Amino acid sequence: MDLALSDEQRMIVEMVRRFVAEEVVPLEDDLDPDADELPAELLAPLIEKTKAMGLYGLDTPPEYGGPDIDLVTRSLIAIECSQHRAGLYAPCYYAFGGARQAQMFEATEPQKEKYLYPMLAGELKAFFALSEPSGGSDPARAIQTRAVRDGDDWVLNGTKLWISGADRADYGLVFARTGGPGRGGVTCFIVETDWPGFKVRRIVHTLRSAKYATEIQLEDLRVPHENILGEEGGGFAIANDRLSRQRVPYAAECLGVAIKAHEMAVEYSQLRETFGATLSSRQGIQWMLVENEIDLRSARLLVLDAAAKADRGESFRTESAIAKLVAAEAGGRVVDRSMQIHGGLGVAKDLPLERWYREIRIRRIGEGPSEVQKHVIARDILGAGLR
């Protein structure tokens, strides 16, 4: 396994690192510690700079105007982009292009014209609605939202929970049961938020500072048959599409914020004196820093290994599960230790550590809880053995 970076990758990493340090971090001095977005007049210049760098639209395929970047490079960029106060919630405040509904790249051409292309142009916002009050980790069985065919329409009834951005979106992907139990009975629908029967029932506040979710109520919502994404009964495949690939940069972001927390802890331990000696001279602190370093190096290798396997065109579902599991868990430990080393300052909003602590905790649930990742890994071990 060769994970040595190419000259181009090193150049991109340095360019993004400098962008974060010189363009993004200084803006946060005047923001609320829990801010989740930049004013338009501050964000626009950042977007122009990422476009000039040739890195805007990182999650957009090149055939749709995005940069032609392999997953290893994408993950390296994610590591750098998360190293600022809001980096785990809004990496660089989406100056590199916001997260896209990747499933829409599989839409029909009329659907792309109406929904995808305006979304890529920043004219429309979208949401993804899979989870329900009955559960989100096993959507193939948990989905109770029903879609019944009525002429040229489908009528949807049900509730969706933990949905990000539905209150600010123009349309979304809603998964409903059109058949029997199991994977083959789920269909994906493109739903517009101003249609009768669509309602954001409530805002669900979470541990994360700026992040909140929504609960959606669908009541006799009529959706044209032409708004099915993919095939009837193919919703589960649509939901899984590209998820393994997206999970790797997600893990890389956990790694990036943990790297920054560790750097802060190392620096602080060398400056802070107690009882006549620096914290860094104390064995207890040294061991915490060593544990941080081991966690970070392990997570980095696993993230880049998963990305490299994907770039080679090999199956990497298990590797992406391992990367996500380890990066989220290890990143949380690193941030926790770094807070402890900072003492009272670690829990103050003067530093970003306390925000990272809250936000990285959610990463153990988002994109599939740690327990689900273990299930995926165990299935591979027991089904085909280690390889």
pLDDT of residue 387: 47
Between 208 and 268, the more confident residue is 268
* pLDDT tops 80 at residue 140: no
Question: Is there a contact between 328 and 364 (Cβ–Cβ < 8 Å)?
Answer: yes
The whole-number average pLDDT for the span 107-127 is 94
Q: Among the options 28, 253, 367, 371, which is catalytic? A: 367
pLDDT of residue 208: 64
The pLDDT tens digits of the residues spanning 264-312 come to 999 999 999 999 999 999 999 999 999 999 999 999 999 999 999 999 9
φ, ψ of residue 76 in degrees (nearest 5): -65, -40
* pLDDT tops 90 at residue 121: no
* pLDDT tops 70 at residue 48: yes
pLDDT of residue 236: 86
Give the pLDDT band (50/70/90) at residue 211. low
The whole-number average pLDDT for the span 309-319 is 94
Amino acid at 229: L
* pLDDT tops 90 at residue 233: yes
Axis crossing angle, helix 243-271 with helix 353-362, rounded to the nearest 10: 150
| CA atoms of 318 and 379, how far apart (whole Å) | 9
Which residues neighbour 363 within 8 Å (Cβ) at sequence distance 6 or greater?
88, 250, 253, 254, 328, 331, 332
Give the pLDDT band (50/70/90) at residue 134. confident
Closest by CA to 162, choosing from 186, 134, 182, is 134
What domains are defined for the chain?
Answer: 7-102 (1.10.540), 108-229 (2.40.110.10), 242-384 (1.20.140.10)
Share of the chain above pLDDT 70, in %: 95
Q: Determine whether 367 is an active site residue.
A: yes
pLDDT of residue 97: 87
Tokens 């550590």: give the residue. Answer: 353
Give the pLDDT band (50/70/90) at residue 386. very low
Burial class (CB in 10 A: 0-12, 13-18, 19+), 253: buried
Tokens of 140: 């193939």
Calculate the average pLDDT of the chain: 92
pLDDT of residue 241: 62
Q: Are strands 186-192 and 228-229 parallel, antiparallel or unpaired?
A: antiparallel
The whole-number average pLDDT for the span 149-153 is 97
pLDDT of residue 99: 62
Axis crossing angle, helix 243-271 with helix 317-342, rounded to the nearest 10: 20
If phi > 0 it is left, if psi is from -120 to 50 it is alpha, else beta; for residue 269 that is alpha
The pTM (predicted TM-score) of the whole model is 0.91
| Range from 152-161, 289-298, 363-372 carrying the lowest mean pLDDT | 363-372
* pLDDT tops 70 at residue 317: yes
* pLDDT tops 60 at residue 67: yes
Amino acid at 281: S
Residue 254 CB neighbours (<10 A): 32
The pLDDT tens digits of the residues spanning 338-356 come to 999 999 999 999 999 999 9
Closest by CA to 108, choosing from 192, 218, 190, 222, is 190
pLDDT of residue 138: 66
* pLDDT tops 50 at residue 205: yes
pLDDT of residue 30: 93
Closest by CA to 82, choosing from 348, 342, 325, 335, is 335
Which residues neighbour 303 within 8 Å (Cβ) at sequence distance 6 or greater?
75, 79, 248, 251, 252, 255, 323, 327
pLDDT of residue 246: 86
pLDDT of residue 295: 98
Closest by CA to 244, choosing from 336, 173, 340, 315, is 315
| CA atoms of 61 and 293, how far apart (whole Å) | 34
Closest by CA to 248, choosing from 141, 326, 189, 188, is 326
